Structure 1
Amino acid sequence: MAYATADELAVLLGRGDDPFSEAETTKANLLLAIATGDMDRELGQSLTLSESTAELDGTGTPVLLLPRWPVTAVASVSVIDDLDEAAEDLVADTDYRWSRYGKLRRLRSCWPCIERAVEVTYTAGWDPIPDDIKGMCLRLAQAGWSNFAGAESERLGDWSVKWHVPGMNLSTSDLATLGFYRART
Structure 2
Amino acid sequence: MAALPPLATVADLAAVLGRAFTPAQEAQAERLLQLASAAVRAATGQDITRATTTDTFTLRRADPVLHRCAGAVTLPQRPVVDIASVSIDGTVTQDWWQDGNELLLRSYAWDLALAAHRPPQVTVTYTHGFDPVPDDIVAVVLQAANRAIVNPSQVRAETVGGESLTYLVPNGGEALGVLLSEVEKRALRRYKRASGTVRLRSR
Normalising by the smaller structure, the TM-score range is 0.7 to 0.9
CA contact (8 A) 1:59 1:111 kept: no
Give the number of equivalent residue pairs.
Answer: 170
* Gap regions ≥5 residues in structure 2: 63-68, 170-174, 198-203
**Identical positions, percent:** 29
* Gap regions ≥5 residues in structure 1: 81-86
User: Within 1, Cα distance between the matches of 2:187 and 2:120?
Assistant: 32
1:64 to 66, 73, 89: 73
2:183 corresponds to which letter in structure 1?
A: S
User: Within 2, Cα distance between the matches of 1:135 and 1:105?
Assistant: 35
2:127 aligned partner? 123
1:143 aligned partner? 147
User: Within 1, Cα distance between the matches of 2:23 and 2:153?
Assistant: 21
1:104 aligns with 2:103: yes
User: Within 1, Cα distance between the matches of 2:148 and 2:34?
Assistant: 11
User: Within 1, Cα distance between the matches of 2:6 and 2:109?
Assistant: 36
* Per-residue Cα deviation, 1:109-152 (whole angstroms, up to 9, x for no partner): 14856446101011100100001101111111111110112333
Structural RMSD (CA): 2.6
Change (3 A) 1:57 1:111: farther
User: Within 1, Cα distance between the matches of 2:187 and 2:57?
Assistant: 27
Normalization by structure 1: what TM-score?
0.80
The Cα shift of 1:175 comes to: 2.0
The Cα shift of 1:153 comes to: 5.6
1:65 corresponds to which letter in structure 2?
A: T
User: Within 2, Cα distance between the matches of 1:154 and 1:64?
Assistant: 50
Normalization by structure 2: what TM-score?
0.74
1:84 aligned partner? none
SS in 1 for 2:97: strand
